[in-house]
Amino acid sequence: MAISDAYTKSFIQPRDALLMEMERFAEENYVPIMQLPAIEILLQMLRIQNPTTILEIGSAIGYSAIRMAKTLPDVKIVTIERDEKRIEQAKHFLSKSNVKDRITLLEGDALEMDVESTYPSFDAVFIDAAKGQYKKFFEKYSPLVKKDGILYIDNMYMHGLSDLDIKDVPKRKRTMIKKLHQFAEWIIANPAYYSTFFPVGDGLLICVKR
Ligand code: SAH
Ligand code: MG
């Protein structure tokens, strides 16, 4: 028998007022912030890893960046967002938080940006941006991850689409899902990483650099 969502959610610890406000905002405005059971696993892994620097691709309204910063009191986070409206929303919520001094928001497309000349290395990279571009993000940003560093990749389940036979995937989504499958096969066969899939939230892949 599969574990129910209600049972899983019963283990989630309380969050502060700002985080609750952001969760409500995200729900009302259809902002795809990470699902609670998945972000709790991400945060718990980060407590264990204890990185001092994190790169996040896909800030949205800044929810996951603020949560990571609140979880790790010394961490410095660089987070990238390309959507102007979300950038404004992220700035608003960051300014209300007590962790804004440790979060740098870079505005633009992560695939076109020169991050490495200013920030040459990170202990952790969290990829949570355009689906179907996993391999491109991975290829551009994995060289910045130190040995024993970790890449965390959200949305490997694609709301169930990636778990379907490709002929059952709606036609307009097939290219994206095929690219996801190619990325998944490539990373699982890649001996440079210990890669583990966590079947939680929308599917979290964790890759430890050997
Ligand atoms: N990490 C956030 C949710 C991110 S949602 C949280 O859990 O709180 C994904 C975001 O990635 C969207 O806001 C989208 O605009 C952004 N995005 C997608 N592709 C991008 C790219 N190539 N460069 C920068 N941002 C991108
Ligand atoms: Mg996500």
- Give residues with Cβ within 8 angstroms of 182, minimum separation 6: 135
pTM for this entry:
0.97
Write out pLDDT tens, residues 83-121: 999 999 999 999 999 999 999 999 999 999 999 999 999
- In Å, the largest CA–CA distance within the chain is 50
Residues near ligand 2 ion, CB 5 Å cutoff: 128, 154-155
- Ligand 1 pocket (Cβ < 6 Å) reads 32-34, 58, 60, 63-64, 80-83, 86, 109-111, 128-130
Q: What is the pLDDT of residues 152-189, one digit of tens each?
A: 999 999 999 999 999 999 999 999 999 999 999 999 99
* CA–CA separation, 94 and 63 (whole Å): 9
Q: Helices marked H in 50-162 — which ranges?
A: 63-71, 84-96, 134-141
**CB-based contacts of 41: which residues, under 8 Å, 6+ apart?**
198, 200, 201, 204
pLDDT tens digits, 10-62: 999 999 999 999 999 999 999 999 999 999 999 999 999 999 999 999 999 99
CATH homologous superfamily, domain 15-25+34-209:
Vaccinia Virus protein VP39 (3.40.50.150)
**Minimal-distance CA residue to ligand 1 atom 10:** 58
Q: What is the mean pLDDT of the chain?
A: 97
